[in-house]
Amino acid sequence: MKLIHHIAELRTWREANPHVALVPTMGNLHEGHLHLVNLARQHAEHVAVSIFVNPLQFGPTEDFTRYPRTLERDADKLRECGVDLLFAPDVSQILPATPRCQIALPALANQLCGATRPGHFVGVATIVLKLFNLVQPDIACFGKKDYQQLSIIRMMVEDFNVPIEIIAGETQRAADGLALSSRNQYLTPDERARAPQLFQQLQLITHLAQQADANVSQLEQNAWQTLAEAGWQPDYIQIRNRHLAEPTPQDQQLVVVGAARLGNTRLIDNLEFSRQPA
């Protein structure tokens, strides 16, 4: 595996390596990322992974400085997985100055996670577009765990005719159902034991909402209430269609998305499901 920190070297590598699938990450890799690496390998001759903790996607009071940076360990894992390129640039390479241009995103970017994380998705989209332009992959893989991020990236790629195929990886979970996330390590042992409650509420909703006559907002409210009573600070629990628009009665392919804070840690999760025709 080649480890590259500079854009000039990346360009040289890319010229010599056709047909590339990129897995963009912020490092601190877990099984969820490695699943994406394996998915990438199934779709392209060469696999590139980027590790860049993107300052643009963190709010002023968020965890940018304490976000775990574990480059050596990450590189070992990727080497074991047979990754061809690890691109791990410094902030000075990717953001030599504050970008003057910004991507305007659809209203979805200000809803759900965007409602409490203003500017987050513009920060994500800006860096993802830069990484796309730098690596110029044929394919890029993103996890469904960040469902809203995935939806927005798909919209950006479609609207700007970015010639990259986006492939989504299924959320990887611990044995008790908790979605794997680098932020899980912020949880205390007691919080970690309670953390699957978010997934359990989403499961309950998908079970109950499958009936065409289910009262969707009541289900969302019940889950919210249950989490609040269990000591969480729920942010949102919402049923949407698979493009994350408000579902119409005709929509049968749905997803329930949720975000809630447990102590100091904000967790997100989602589950896709189908419901009977109305």
Residues annotated as catalytic (active site), given as ranges: 33
Is position 197 an interface residue for ligand PAF (rule: CB under 6 A)? no
Work out how close the CB of 225 gets to ligand PAF at its nearest, in angstroms, rounded to a whole number: 30
Is position 26 an interface residue for ligand PAF (rule: CB under 6 A)? yes
Provide the terminal-to-terminal Cα distance of the chain, rounded to the nearest Å: 53
Is position 259 an interface residue for ligand PAF (rule: CB under 6 A)? no
Nearer to ligand PAF, 26 or 227 (CB): 26
Is position 49 an interface residue for ligand PAF (rule: CB under 6 A)? no
- Candidates 128, 205, 223, 239: give the one binding ligand PAF (CB under 6 A): 128
Work out how close the CB of 50 gets to ligand PAF at its nearest, in angstroms, rounded to a whole number: 7
Q: Tell me the window of 23-31, 81-89, 220-228, 240-248 that interacts with ligand PAF (CB under 6 A).
A: 23-31
Name, in order, each residue with C-beta under 8 angstroms of 210's C-beta and a sequence gap of 6 or more.
Answer: 273, 274, 275, 276
8 Å CB contact between 150 and 85:
no
Q: Tell me the window of 120-128, 173-181, 188-196, 202-210 that interacts with ligand PAF (CB under 6 A).
A: 120-128
Is position 146 an interface residue for ligand PAF (rule: CB under 6 A)? yes
Is position 149 an interface residue for ligand PAF (rule: CB under 6 A)? yes
Radius of gyration of the chain (CA): 19
Give residue 127's Cα distance to chain centre: 13
Is position 127 an interface residue for ligand PAF (rule: CB under 6 A)? yes
Is position 54 an interface residue for ligand PAF (rule: CB under 6 A)? yes
Q: Tell me the window of 18-26, 80-88, 110-118, 235-243 that interacts with ligand PAF (CB under 6 A).
A: 18-26
Q: Number of residues in contact with ligand PAF, rule: CB under 6 A?
A: 10
Work out how close the CB of 27 gets to ligand PAF at its nearest, in angstroms, rounded to a whole number: 8
Work out how close the CB of 214 gets to ligand PAF at its nearest, in angstroms, rounded to a whole number: 32
- Rounded Cα gap, residues 94 and 11, in angstroms: 14
Name, in order, each residue with C-beta under 8 angstroms of 125's C-beta and a sequence gap of 6 or more.
Answer: 103, 105, 109, 152, 153, 156
Q: Tell me the window of 5-13, 71-79, 123-131, 189-197 that interacts with ligand PAF (CB under 6 A).
A: 123-131
Pick left, alpha or beta for residue 235 (phi over 0 → left; psi -120 to 50 → alpha; otherwise beta). Answer: alpha
Is position 124 an interface residue for ligand PAF (rule: CB under 6 A)? yes
- Rounded Cα gap, residues 51 and 26, in angstroms: 5
- Candidates 28, 57, 171, 201: give the one binding ligand PAF (CB under 6 A): 57
Work out how close the CB of 169 gets to ligand PAF at its nearest, in angstroms, rounded to a whole number: 11
Work out how close the CB of 128 gets to ligand PAF at its nearest, in angstroms, rounded to a whole number: 5
- Rounded Cα gap, residues 29 and 54, in angstroms: 15
Q: Which residues bind ligand PAF (CB under 6 A)?
A: 24-26, 54, 57, 124, 127-128, 146, 149
